[in-house]
Structure 1
């Protein structure tokens, strides 16, 4: 009766027949989700039909067996995802591989239109009455052939011999069973080998609130828009340095901006290096003429290189990238480039160039476009950075004591700059400081380290403690002291403090008068009264500090 009817008409007719038969107790509405076609908007219904399947148990067992053999095992990074892989294979179901689509690999099956005989094979059967099945293979079936089919399999090609199995597959945790497992058993069946040695699992990119990006939420980010505004390198550096293996990443535009700023820093550093070089000159480092700062930056690079390589070998690209950023931004740009301005020797120029080259090579995987542009602009390079060799460490006779001295010098420079800023002292003004170790003995520096100290902050070490009131800073186990008379012009600072105390006295009087007025305290909002009370307390504290500072300066002036 219902054969050939429209599904919706059929349902209505069926309900009517039930009611006529008296078998309907009641009808009620039920709210539920109904799948719709993304393209046509038509309701998607279950439909029984004949499909092609692959018997999975024997294939999965082969992979599981080989997971116990070290040189055949597929390793996962992070290791916890191996459980997902294994669990799926242990609980495998037969795989429906046929799809009713207009594209894809056709199912290699033919039916005789005369006899109804079925034929499955790699080549079409002879004769004209054979019709090939119209279904195509599941996408994952086709893509599971990728590791070896791309190298020419089933032919024994040179590429297959050289590159297969591959080293590493990089993929997301959401397709371990869709793709990784299927590549594993297809490779085992077709080539009697594993398709790759390691599987590096990355997370998904989510929005700032941690939600998965979707059309319905409207929270998706088009990478092409980000690239148009910030550049591909900025987006790439953000993605590679803000996520750990297997962990989701929250998209944060401010961090993309930070990556852009870092790239800008590298660009400016390369421009500075080029400005220190004479056109057409060939620069090479003379190991016998290295300054303290030269040795320091070369040692820093060697340690950075070792740290980067160690973490890259473990697929910890975020850690490696952050180590590299710290070296380039802080050690090279913030310190060594500043140090180089006090030493215009040819050897310093050579060190600048070599550290720049090696740093650019390490950065290349993270930001290929800007590094390639800089690389081709640097003297002594040939062609694209993509054809260059991975950098080697610097080879020279390192002086550990000199390096320790330089580390202390940089701490001293930082503290002296802070003191000068605090006491409104000109950065270029000379200052005498005293530094003592944990035993109380004065610290002395070699001439090379002392020269760097003078060049960066115009400071000179004294061998005795300053007299009178001092400003101090702790530098780990060391203590730095500077006499207040070194830091300030006593007369000018006393005059400034006098003006400041007069201003604060007026503010205190105003505040006290306001808060002692019942008309204000009873009528003004509580928040306003609280704010004025807090202001008064702050003014009193500032006045006390200014008065104490004035007294210290007064003592210094009296002693003089």
Structure 2
């Protein structure tokens, strides 16, 4: 017998271990079934399960379980990413707590420590995914630093280098002075900073007393200025084009040139150009062939090596001695010193308070520096062209489709991809340098030495490039490297390309696009046919979750409190196209009630002798009740299947919820209770047969989203061997005789009872009161139906009788229209009608006042423009709710003549 109280923790771990032991998650390359592949977005090896993981992995698991039940040979490829910066930071902090420093240890000893940490602590995320119920093919788990994947990385790097698509170049990168490495745009976050805007005077060469004024938020970089730019159509400054300004403190004469980068509407219209320390200035510098001296070192301290030859004393302008004293100072200390010295020289025209966005490293936590360094690059523009064409032609489709525009915008304006990082943990670049700096890019050191011998005609010492590759480089190969490439394995032939990639919009460019580039270049085919893009998980008010706001929810804590099924079903129910998931504990608690409803319904059926009967044939059902529930189950299966086909997880959950809670639990079981409690006979046998058949359908229908409770009930009822629901067939429609007639009959009864309940509730009829139901203008068939179902109508509607009304409508009744008939509840003597009318009118006035207040706020363009998006959306939802309440109260008043 099922326990009276549902306790998911009593069976979740046991069921998962049973599935895993039985190989229930395994793909089978020898299968004749059609394959279905999802590649996991590999979580960082340092990671622990957060709500973003819970969202994306729940959706993937729902799809994979559904396709597995449809008979597909489903591969959900597991694995983790080595997460270069994140992992190196974790281990460095760990070593620092022991008084150790990686630089003192040396590279080899440090990497041994990282591998040891990975072996001991790097599997937390995979254990937590099991708690969520994720049915990944664990024996196939890969790691981006596995030897097999490392071989793929080397093969790709060498091949692209030989094709001229990987090269070294000196360009600006996002530089983290704390971590001392280049970082990707994804690792940069903008933070609002209150600072100053300094308007500085640059003297015009040869014209004493004349200046061009430039505005800057970063005076410390002015030491690297190599030009001043003005807009070619700026009439105020056009006369300066072609002249030269003298760079304060340094004494360098720099050209004043015309470039559209200068904005006549901002500041003085003139801008300083510092190509080695600003991305826009770098492009201006390239257009005009300007020098690009760096004036900050790797730790963002003043560095004068590249400007020292130009430093010369210019009276009232330049001060080489001051600069030499500045060397080695931190950038922010130098900023204060430079501004103070410029003020002494009379070269500060004015200072304005200025709030602006400053890019910070998301891990180092300090402002990043655009820094000019030698790095390795991939020719992303060339690699992007086939990927763009693949989406244009429909070989890969985005769902929702509008995300294609984001993909195209990024890809059509793509810049060279900086693929090198100044770290120790990662794929070390397979490049070796000879004594004269000549580079040899090979798969192994032995091959590099052989190439060097051929080049130099003798043995020479080689030095390996110390940099490692950007983590996104190896994860870009994930769809085929995990399947054994560069070997032509049977898995590669069978499971590539994948069917669908499920991921967030924030990594369309960083991961999705790069997988497409690499997949098309090396496999000649897209890596996935569909890219399903989901939103972010936010709190119930639509705010982004963050520790500082205190609104972060821990999925493991929610699983502990409510069970994995409740969290998973909540995620599915809230995941619609193009919108974020607004999650709250209340939502999860509400859906735990749904899971409990299924458990309680199954327990009731078990107590009433309902058990699986494989011989029971739905096509032979004779009673309207059995036919009605079988037909309703058919429609639920059709709706749920269509929703999953369209990646409408919300519609799938809604179809299941409506059918299970409303149709099956609230109506079928209530209609069937007297039959199941009555004497044995054909009617009872058919009610049991329909109940067991539909319960089995429900368990299969809900299994993708609610795997644990459905499997537990499947096993306990004996629908199949233990742990077998995961491989049971997905439900389909069954033949139902005279389904339309059964639907018309039972739907009418449901509508009648629903109207009666609604009227009673709206006008506050006490539940203990029974009363007659008057029916006017009813067709003979409607009256006959009422007669056939009178016991159910009495019991469920709290009705004493159903009586046709031929004369005038009596006073004091509440009315509702049902088809051709009007049904009435006599309220005289049951409630105080004038008082009830007054109560409803008062509530209606309150709802109207609330609606007016909110509407006025939303009509205020200033409020809509300034308020956070989540606040505006919350007010729109409140307005819709207030208007719905007004409509409900209007209907209630109309029922009693108000």
**TM-score grouping bracket, smaller chain normalisation:** 0.7 to 0.9
1:363 counterpart residue number: 702
String of CA shifts for 1:68-100, please: whole Å, max 9, x gaps: 434xx2111111110111121111111101112
Give the secondary structure class of the aligned counterpart of 1:162.
helix
Task: Classify the secondary structure of the residue corresponding to 1:341.
Answer: helix
Change in CA separation of 1:197 and 1:188 when aligned onto 2, cut-off 3 Å: same
Which segment drifts farther, 98-107 or 184-193? 98-107
Aligned to 1:444: 784
Counterpart CA distance in 1 for 2:794 and 2:567 is 40
CA–CA distance in structure 2, aligned partners of residues 120 and 169 of structure 1 = 33
**Distance in 2 between residues matched to 1:483 and 1:246, nearest whole Å:** 46
Q: Deviations over 1:428-472 (max 9, x none)?
A: x695754634x7996322976556546645665556648984745
- 1:99 is matched with which residue: 412, 421, 426? 421
Q: 1:475 to 1:366 in 2, by over 3 A?
A: farther
Cα gap change, 1:469/1:362 in structure 2, threshold over 3 Å: closer, same or farther?
A: same
Unaligned runs of 5+ in 2: 1-302, 306-323, 450-459, 677-683, 836-892
Distance change in 2, residues 1:472/1:368 (3 Å): same
Number of the residue aligned with 1:182: 514
Residue 338 to residue 123, structure 1, CA distance change in 2 (3 Å) = same
1:142 aligned onto 2:474: yes
What's the counterpart of residue 433 of structure 2? 111
Moved more, 130-139 or 258-267: 130-139
List per-residue Cα deviations over 1:93-123 (Å, max 9, x = no partner).
11101112232222121113x3432111233
Residues 1:57 and 2:381 aligned together: yes
Confirm or deny: 8 A CA contact 1:166 1:196 kept in the other structure: yes
Name 1:531's counterpart in structure 2.
Answer: none
- Determine if contact 2:546/2:552 at 8 Å carries over to the other structure: yes
Q: What CA distance in whole angstroms lies between the structure 1 residues aligned with 2:744 and 2:700?
A: 27
| More divergent stretch after superposition (57-66 vs 349-358) | 57-66
Q: TM-score, length-normalised on structure 1?
A: 0.77
- Give the Cα–Cα distance (whole angstroms) in 1 for the partners of residues 571 and 482 of structure 2: 28
Q: Which has the higher strand share?
A: 2
Once the two structures are TM-superposed, the CA of residue 281 in structure 1 deviates from its matched residue by 7.2
Gaps of 5+ in 1: 502-544, 550-560
Alignment-derived partner of residue 737 in structure 2? 397
Does structure 2 retain, via aligned residues, the 8 Å contact 1:54–1:94? Answer: yes
Q: Which residue of 1 aligns with 2:820?
A: 478
Q: TM-score, normalised by structure 2?
A: 0.50
Structure 1 match to 2:722: 383
Question: Is the Cα contact below 8 Å between 2:516 and 2:527 reproduced in 1?
Answer: yes
**Distance across 1 between alignment mates of 2:348 and 2:758:** 85
Q: State the distance in 1 between where 2:614 and 2:417 align.
A: 65
Which residue of structure 2 aligns with residue 557 of structure 1? none
Q: Is 1:120 equivalent to 2:444 in the alignment?
A: no
Contact 1:436–1:442 (8 Å) recurs in 2: no
The residue number in structure 2 matching 1:528 is: none
CA positional deviation for 1:162: 1.5
- The aligned residue for residue 75 of structure 1 is 397
Asked if structure 2 preserves the Cα contact closer than 8 Å seen for 1:432 and 1:459, the reply is yes
Partner of 1:227: 559
Matches within 5 A, 1:400-479: 400-417=740-757, 424=766, 426=768, 433-434=774-775, 436-437=777-778, 443-445=783-785, 449=789, 452-453=792-793, 456-457=796-797, 461-462=802-803, 465=806, 469=810, 471=813, 473-479=815-821
CA separation of 1:413 and 1:446: change in aligned 2, threshold 3 A: closer
Secondary structure in 1 matching 2:372: coil
* Residue 88 of structure 1 pairs with residue 425 of structure 2: no
Correspondence list, 1:165-244, <5 A: 165-244=497-576
Given that residues 536 and 581 in structure 2 are in contact (C-alpha distance below 8 angstroms), is that contact kept between their aligned partners in structure 1? yes
Distance 1:394 1:226 in 2: 38
Please give the alpha-carbon distance, in whole angstroms, between the structure 1 residues aligned to 2:744 and 2:555: 45
| CA displacement at 1:158 relative to structure 2 | 1.6
Q: CA deviation at 1:327?
A: 0.8
SS, match of residue 220 in structure 1: coil
Q: In structure 2, which of residues 631, 634, 647 is the aligned counterpart of residue 302 of structure 1?
A: 634
In structure 1, C-alpha distance between the alignment counterparts of 2:340 and 2:433, rounded to whole Å? 41
Partner of residue 262, structure 1: 594
Residues in 1 aligned to 2:503 and 2:542: alpha-carbon distance in whole angstroms: 20
Secondary structure at the aligned position of 1:267 is classed as: helix
Match of 2:692 in 1: 353
Q: CA deviation at 1:383?
A: 3.0
- How many angstroms apart in 1 are the aligned matches of 2:546 and 2:758? 48
- Count matched residues: 492
- Whether the aligned pair in 2 keeps the contact of 1:172 and 1:202 (CA below 8 Å) is yes
Deviation of 1:402 (Å): 2.9
Secondary structure class of the residue paired with 1:52: strand
Backbone CA RMSD of aligned residues: 3.8
Structure 1 segment 262-301 matched on structure 2, within 5 A: 262-277=594-609, 284-285=616-617, 287-301=619-633
Task: Provide the C-alpha distance between the structure 2 equivalents of 1:226 and 1:435, rounded to a whole number of angstroms.
Answer: 52
Q: Distance in 2 between matches of 1:397 and 1:198?
A: 39
Give, in whole Å, the separation in 2 of the partners of 1:331 and 1:201.
32
Higher relative contact order (CA 8 A, sep 6+): 2
Secondary structure in 2 matching 1:383: coil
Output the CA distance in 2 between the equivalents of 1:144 and 1:277. 56
Kept after mapping to 2: 8 A contact 1:59/1:185: yes
**Does the aligned pair in 1 maintain the 2:621–2:627 contact within 8 Å?**
no
Q: 2:667 aligns with which of 335, 347, 353?
A: 335
Deviation at 1:146, TM superposition (A): 0.8
Contact 1:214 1:220 in 2 (8 A): yes
CA distance in 2, matches of 1:469, 1:373: 55
1:311 maps to: 643
Q: Which residue of structure 2 lines up, in the alignment, with residue 522 of structure 1? A: none
> Which moved further from structure 2: 263-272 or 9-18?
9-18
Whether the 8 Å contact between 1:213 and 1:219 is mirrored in structure 2 is yes
- Counterparts of 1:279 and 1:245, CA distance in 2: 39
- The question of whether the paired residues in 1 share the 8 Å contact of 2:618 and 2:736 is answered with no
Q: 1:21 offset after TM fit, Å?
A: 11
Call closer, same or farther: CA 1:468–1:92 in 2, change over 3 Å. Answer: closer
Q: In structure 2, what is the Cα distance between the partners aligned to 1:16 and 1:407?
A: 81
| Distance in 2 between residues matched to 1:462 and 1:20, nearest whole Å | 98
